[in-house]
Structure 1
Amino acid sequence: MQAIIDAAVARSRPVLLILALVLISGSVAYVTIPKEADPDVAIPIIYVLVPHDGISAQDAERLLVRPMEKELRNVEGLKEMRASAREGQATITLEFEAGFDSDQALNDVRKRVDIAKHELPDDSEEPTVNEVNVALFPVILVTLSGDIDERILVRRARDLRDKLEGLPGILEVDIAGDREDLMEVIINPVRLQGFNQSPETLLQFIDRNNKLVAAGAMDTGHGRFSVKVPGLFENVGDVLSLPIKVSGDKVVTFEDVAIAHRTFKDANGFARVNGRPAIALEVTKRIGTNIIDTIEEVRALVAEEQRNWPDSIQVTFSQDKSRQIRDMLNDLQNNVLAAVLLVMIVVVAALGLRAAGLVGVSIPGSFLAGILVLAFAGLTINIVVLFALIMAVGMLVDGTIVVVELADRKMAEGLPRKEAYAAAAKRMAWPITAATATTLAAFMPLLFWPGIVGEFMKYLPITLIATLTASLFMALVFVPTLGSIVGRRAPDGVENAANLAAAEDGDLDSITGFTGAYVMVLRLAVTHPLKLVLLAMAL
């Protein structure tokens, strides 16, 4: 360490260029690094959802759960599998060990589901495979409400969803309170019986006609063109005009025996705002994108779309996670500024203005260097990182203050400032390193904390290690180098000079002021150690 300090002080220009580069790069990293509410922690749970409209819980267990369990039990790394069946669907939950490879696990589960779905009933819907990730929770809720026709509200919500999903930072948008479109056909049994038809016959007509028929291509000798046979129902009129029977000269159609209209499926849930019907859009951002910028883009797009909507549609935003991150960033900036200001006030009173400036540089320098390390490591600023940065504010300046104070003492003894700062840094190198190491040792075990909590909390020791290590280099390398150029001994008063002389090789009883009071208390404590220990235990 002493060789490093000597080399840094002797070659001040490259060292100061490195310091400037760290400060500039750290500032850029602080502005550009992604900021999100929760860490990117993949919870080791994957669940498979198998919908089947109208199936009972007992049949769902027999027809949906068992084929899936048979295949999914062979997934590599599986810790536990649980399944539940209820009316209309079945859910299979797979739990893996913490720290698992989520991408590999998702691929394995999807392959097994593709194999198992061939054993499911033909009218079962496509199974979906979903992962649980804290960073994939919705970051904002956009709610559309108003006294307006439900179909208009749903259409506006779906259009808004499509445009929101077009934003680069948005992963997906789920709609809550939306109902699937449905065409309802009500058969008149009397008229149906009069035409000697049965409901089963009508269902067969619909099933046979609502198909896409691939008719291939026709070659006329002069060219080749594709043949398309329209067969899919696109609106209510297509169903009502479907012929079901010829009676004499009359063609009997669906319109003669039934009525049809567009509607929605029965609601599984409801969304309300102040008692009025509402549609909620749950917006999920992509992992690693800046939550503040993303939500600002969402709000701007919604405001732009709202200009084209009826005045009766009201838009409300809720569960905005960017507010919490913005508040914590403001708290961090305020804490850093307050720490710099208070430290400089104390150091100015004790050592002078230039020494205070040297100490003040170490706080933002350590922070920016730590954030630069986080950016290089591909991490983001989240709640845990911000908590660690705020907690580190009071730990960054201890080493720097000790070095600057000792250098000031050496200059008072007559050493040139370059030699004084080099001697101070070398003298305090191992004590400062040991103090920093003991602090880091207290947080190091958090890196090996197992389970989901460990994955969540690992950002705390990583941030503290990066920041406190940067503060060590600031105290032993950058500040002594800067001080060897701009440092100046603080003017000593007569009383201060006498106290320094007495502290070095004089009579400690002659020390006055606050230091003298401290010497008296210390002498009393050393003289009566047992009483001091008992007092400490009592407190």
Structure 2
Amino acid sequence: MKFLEIFIEKPRVLLLTLAFIILAGVSSVLSLPIQENPELAQRWGSVTTTYPGATPERIETQVVDQLERKLREVTDIDELDSIISQGFATTVVEFSQELDPELIEQTWSQVQDKMSLVEPFLPEGATISLVRSSGPPITNLYAIKWQGKDEPRFVMMSRIAEQLQTRLNSLDLTEKLRVFGAADEELSIKVDPSKLSSLGLTFADIASAISSIDAKKPIGLLSNANSSYLFKLKDSLIDISSFNEIPIKKENNQLIRLEDIAEINIQPVSPVEEIILHNGQRVVMVGISATMSQRVFEYVAQADSIVEELNESLPDEIVIEKIYDESVFVSEMFSNLSTSFFLATFFVLAFSFFFLGIRPGIIVTAILPFTVGLVLFGCNLIGLPLHQTSITGIIIALGLLIDNGIIVVEDYKYRRSKGLLPAESIKESVNHLFAPLAAATSTTVFAFMPIVTGEGSSIEFVSGMGITVIFSIISSLFLALVFVPVLMTYMEKIPFFKNIEISSEGYKNEFLLQKYRKFLFWAYKAPRRAISIALAFPLLGFISFAFIPKDFFPPEDRNMFQVRIELPKNASAEATLNKTLEVRQQIIDSELIDIDDEIWWIGSRLPRILMNVIGGDTKNANNNMAEGVYFAKDFYNMIDGLPQLNTLIAERNPDVRILVDNFFAGPPVFADIEYKIIGDDREVLGILGEELELIISNAPNIVLTGTDFSGYSTNIEFNIDTSNLYYSGLNPAIISNELFSMSNGVIVGTMLDGTKEIPIRLKGSNGLNGVIDQATLLTLPSESGLNYIENFGDSEITRKSGTITRLQSRKLNTVQGWVQTLTLPSETEAYLEDKVAEFQSRLPAGYTLKQDGQADSRSQSQGQVYSSAVLFIILIIAGLVFALNSFKQMLLIFSCGMLCVGLSYLGLFIGNQNYGFIGLIGVVGLIGLSINDSIIVLSHIKEEANKRDITKAEVTEIVIRSTRHIITTSATTIGGFAPLLFGSIFFHPLAWGMIIGVLGATLLALLYVPAVYMNMIGIKD
């Protein structure tokens, strides 16, 4: 009370304190990072293995086995998945969801250390590298476009892309830069194999001749007493003509030069491995990702100015165009959130003025800006950026943060109506309300704590909302107990209010009051009536839960959708391009969706365009894949057209695997339905996978299925006759070396071309990559002259599964299924449950089945909330016992929280929402919110019951006195959630569960709690 007297007696101290709160909030708004989504800990990554020419079996034995053995020594690694194909392998590393985000970087360093221990033991030609698959999403995409009339010059465009990359790299707070679709240059030396063999030379001889003239390294150091000089040969390989003059052999007194047997030029690497299309035009693209600690609008403006400056120096044929800008979506999101904020503010203030009156309404209104200022100041102190979930937390809290103020105002009015002086009213109100308000606030805090302190990516995604809600309600408690009573005292000194009885303020209707009094008296006369009415709605909610569809996270409400195409494994990027252009035209011709823009990645997976997109950081072994992002003109037109478009495109392209789908929010999920069959024999795994895939393909809503063994690769296998090889004076190694050189080619050095160092590739000119039939006609030098490879053995074309997959070092076959767009996997999962269980019972000994996909992700995320919630429910119980000083009363209030779980389910059912992670957050949050009003009603009844024996008629009057602020707090809480119904669909389940839950909680507070309490203490008529 002495603390309050300081503000009452010294108004300047009050004004300075309030000014500090407002200035701290404004300063925080101007300095806090602004982004679309919260940052997720980088729990995913991959170790890529490159071993050109090696079979999957060889890579597994010589590289992956020892790599996984070392990585398993990192205790925080939860799962290791390896995908091994011809020449490549990817080992996906996933950290435990329980790993503290603060330890993520340290754990990645441990992974890098283990890789360093493996590297010395790798076979020659094999390399491993770490790719971090998470981090911030792409901020901007810039396309370098050719506008000339002649053929596009992709080499020039690629050089410009590299210039742009270098300039953008100078920006502060830049996390990552990557060039997509660049034409990598090389100096190509295409040797005629027949000419080479006729000279008795090999590709190794040519490589040695080039290396002997390549003088990049210094010879030594010349020095005397005064100075020293670097001694080196002058670099003679500076252009194509210098390569033409390289001597390779002297024959018949004639010097044979490289140009006599080879064609030499600078050209893009062939075959092309990555192609980017923008609206059907091939482009080179630069992607830039800013760190999560920046203000995205300012960052994008700086990047755009750099691009504009470079654009001015380019020739007319080339232009740099921004084709993706994350800040546009962030701006749209903030616009929607701002609308929701002001709409919620309007509802809250309107209800406050209507129910409380002008004077209390003004005081309650004053709480809003000061509470928001304290919340923003708190966000600044802990470094919480402004993004979708943190701002939504503030919007949600708008309806909660004045609850305490309303209760204090109403109690103060009641004391003044009894004739107490302002100082006495303040003292009694604060003394009486401190414990119940603190208990109510603590229960709300504890209810939202599981989404702040829980573990895992799902929790990290929504934790910002929990933090801002907690900041809001703690700030509102402080303001309600400190500033509201002081402001009420000052308001009574204002002449305008002197003639207005404070107790008479607010909406009054005698007719409704009498009807309400009669209803309460009728309900309390037989308490089971009140209890039955109050329990009806929670029970309906529990019954309706069985009929609520289940999902993981709601769809992303951007006007974006994706198209994925997968051709047979041997398909080249050019073949994938042709199919992509065909599918693209089909989408345009369908006219089902109004398309505004499109970007295609061919030969690589989709990069991190959204927070939960993983896998596009490398392009190894993805030539047969294409993934496109389409931007629709209207979100709802897109949603309506997607199912039909998916069906249409799949029917018109039965020769490829294709899927059209929208994006989803939340952590990454790689397939709707997914099962992993784990065992040792690949042949058995393949048979079991085919059987399970057939089961899944017959389930409802399934549009696409696949297994790890679905794809086959075509190879040429050569069986060497070592005897013939020996009589010809050759050894077996020369065949593999010459085949590799004549097909892919070998890098024999580098050449500086201007400011860029380009590789020198030596290869055959017969085009083995394009003509399989010529494989056996390749020539080799021998003692007798020229020989064909077919003279030393037999070759055959084989078709086999070209992929080995492993989980925790055991082989597996992953069976996946995707459901029709906009349908829920949970329906299909329910259908498959018995059939998959029957399949699992028939598995051979030593084989197991593991469920992944959306079902596993959903259960893991919800389990993390449940495990965290248990502790805080115990704390809620402890707080109630402390505040109420009674176990029976604690059980009464706690039962209100449990009943509100059913009310939340009823809200989801009425709003036609799915029960997923966001719905669960609503359920947990409602447990804390729902008991606040019940605590206040119970405290008012107890206050009078402790003074004297009261009757049911007196209980009725006590509840009527409490009703005004109960209805006001409920209305303002609903007013805070209602705007979310008109905003992002991401929060619709939360809003519906909370709105219906708060309505039901009002009935519990006004009917259930008084009726049960009357029975507990035996109140008579």
Asked if TM exceeds 0.5, the reply is yes
Q: How does 1:356-371 map to 2 (within 5 A)?
A: 356-371=361-376
Once the two structures are superposed, residues 356-406 of structure 1 have per-residue CA deviations (whole angstroms, 9 ceiling, x without a partner) of 332222112112211211221122223221222222121111111232344
Alpha-carbon separation, structure 1, partners of 2:164 and 2:476: 48
In structure 1, the residue matched to 2:109 is: 107
Alignment of structure 1 residues 272-351 onto 2, 5 Å: 272-313=277-318, 315-318=320-323, 320-349=325-354
Cα distance in 2 for partners of 1:498, 1:204 equals 98
Q: Cα–Cα, structure 1 residues 236 and 419, in superposed 2: closer, same or farther, change >3 Å?
A: farther
Question: How do 1:497-516 and structure 2 match up within 5 A?
Answer: 512-516=510-514
In the other structure, the counterpart of 2:384 is 379
Match of 2:259 in 1: 255
Q: CA deviation at 1:313?
A: 4.0
Alignment of 1:168-207 (within 5 A): 168-188=172-192, 192=196, 197-207=201-211
Relative distance call for 1:447 and 1:513 in structure 2 (3 A) is same
Q: What are the Cα deviations for residues 202-229 of structure 1, in whole angstroms up to 9, with x where unaligned?
A: 1221233336323221125553211123
Once the 2 structures are TM-superposed, how far is the Cα of residue 183 of structure 1 from its aligned partner?
2.0
**Structure-2 residue corresponding to 1:237:** 241
Q: CA deviation at 1:196?
A: 6.1
The residue number in structure 2 matching 1:507 is none
Alignment equivalent of 1:482, drawn from 480, 487, 491: 487
**Which residue of the partner structure matches residue 119 of structure 2?**
117
Cα shift at 1:530 = 3.5
Structure 1 residues 533, 193: closer, same or farther in 2, change over 3 A?
A: closer
- Aligned position for 1:506: none
Q: Runs of 5+ in structure 1 lacking a partner?
A: 504-510
**Structure-2 separation of matches of 1:163 and 1:467:** 43
* Counterpart residue identity of residue 297, structure 1: Q
Structure 1 pair 496/103, CA: closer, same or farther in 2 (3 Å)?
A: closer
| Distance (Å, rounded) in 1 between the aligned partners of 2:505 and 2:31 | 53
Q: Distance in 2 between matches of 1:387 and 1:496?
A: 35
Q: Which amino acid aligns with 2:228?
A: R
Are 1:128 and 2:132 counterparts?
Answer: no
Rate the CA distance shift 1:343–1:538 in 2: closer, same or farther, 3 A: closer
CA distance in 1, matches of 2:51, 2:239: 25
CA distance in structure 2 between the partners assigned to 1:62 and 1:497 by the alignment: 85
Asked if 1:454 corresponds to 2:455, the answer is: no
The residue aligned with 1:508 is none
Superposition deviation, residue 250 in structure 1: 5.9
Q: Structure 2 vs 1, CA of residues 196 and 48 (structure 1 numbering), >3 Å: closer, same or farther?
A: closer
Equivalent residues in 2 for 1:407-422 (5 A)? 407-411=412-416, 417=422, 420-421=425-426
Structure 1's 520 and 115: CA in aligned 2 closer, same or farther, altered over 3 A?
Answer: same
CA contact (8 A) 1:213 1:231 kept: no
2:274 to 269, 275, 287: 269
Tell me, yes or no, if structure 1 residue 166 matches structure 2 residue 164: no
**Cα distance, 1:484 vs. partner?**
3.1
Q: 1:213 aligns with which of 194, 217, 239?
A: 217
SS of the residue aligned with 1:93?
strand
Cα deviation, residue 165, structure 1: 1.4
Preserved contact between residue 351 and residue 408 of structure 1 (Cα < 8 Å)? no
Deviation of the 1:311 alpha carbon: 4.5
SS of the residue 1:280 aligns to: strand
Q: Secondary structure at the match of 2:242?
A: helix
For the Cα contact (< 8 Å) 2:414–2:503, is it kept in 1?
A: no
C-alpha distance after superposition, 1:514-537 (max 9, x if no partner): 444433333333345434444455
Provide Cα deviations, 1:77-125, integer angstroms capped at 9, x if missing partner: 3333332222232222333322241121121111221221112234334
- Count the aligned residue pairs: 527
Shift, 1:33, TM fit:
0.7
- Work out the CA distance in 2 between the residues paired with 1:283 and 1:314: 18
How far off is 1:419 after superposition?
5.2
Partners of 2:142 and 2:324 within 8 A in 1: no
Alignment of 1:369-448 (within 5 A): 369-411=374-416, 417=422, 420-421=425-426, 423-448=428-453
Partner residue in 1 for 2:61: 62
CA positional deviation for 1:172: 1.5
Alpha-carbon distance between aligned partners in 1 of 2:87 and 2:429, rounded to the nearest angstrom: 75
Instruction: Verify: 1:519 aligned to 2:524, yes or no.
Output: no
CA–CA separation in structure 2 for the residues paired with 1:221 and 1:335: 80
Q: Is the 8 A contact 2:45 2:133 kept in 1?
A: yes
Residues 486-497 of structure 1 mapped to structure 2, 5 A cutoff: 486-487=491-492, 488=494, 490=497
Q: 1:451 to 1:274 in 2, by over 3 A?
A: closer
Determine the C-alpha separation between the residues in 1 that align with 2:226 and 2:372.
Answer: 76
Q: Could you report, residue by residue, the CA deviation over 1:386-444 in whole angstroms, capped at 9, with x for unpaired residues?
A: 22222212111111123234434555666555554555444433333232222223222
Q: What CA distance in whole angstroms lies between the structure 2 residues aligned with 1:356 and 1:38?
A: 35
The structural deviation recorded for 1:301 is: 2.5
Is contact 1:79-1:97 (8 Å) kept? Answer: yes
Q: Is the 8 A contact 1:332 1:389 kept in 2?
A: no
- Segment drifting more, 418-427 vs 464-473: 418-427
Further displaced range: 361-370 or 198-207: 198-207
Deviations 1:44-83 (A, max 9, x none): 3332122234433233223332342343232343333332
In the alignment, is the contact (CA less than 8 A) between 1:56 and 1:88 conserved in 2?
yes
Is the CA contact 1:145–1:313 (under 8 Å) kept in the aligned structure 2? yes
**Is the aligned partner of 1:155 residue 2:155?**
no
1:38 aligns with 2:40: no
Match of 1:139 in 2: 139
What code does the residue aligned with 1:522 have? L
The alpha carbon displacement at 1:28 in A equals: 0.9
**Shift, 1:279, TM fit:** 2.0
Query: SS at 1:85's partner residue?
Result: strand
Change in 2 beyond 3 A, CA 1:231/1:116 = farther
Q: Quickly say closer, same or farther: Cα 1:243–1:318, change in 2 above 3 A.
A: same
SS in 2 for 1:357: helix
State the match for 2:984 in structure 1. none
| Partner Cα distance (1:393, 1:217) in 2 | 75
Per mean C-alpha deviation after superposition, the further-off stretch among 13-22 and 461-470 is 13-22
Contact conserved, 1:35 with 1:380, CA < 8 A, in 2? yes
| Gaps in structure 2 of 5+ consecutive residues | 538-1021
Over 3 Å counting, the alpha-carbon distance change for 1:344 and 1:476 in structure 2 is same
Q: SS where residue 458 of structure 1 aligns? A: helix
Q: What displacement does 1:456 show?
A: 3.1
Question: Quick one: distance in 2 between partners of 1:518 and 1:13?
Answer: 45
Q: Is 1:530 the equivalent of 2:531? A: no
Residue in 1 that maps onto 2:723: none
Over the residues paired in the alignment, what is the CA RMSD in angstroms? 3.4
Looking at structure 2, the residues matched to 517 and 303 of structure 1 have their Cα atoms a distance apart, in angstroms, of 71
The answer to whether the 8 Å contact 1:71/1:112 transfers is yes
- Alignment partners' CA distance in 2, 1:207 and 1:498: 95
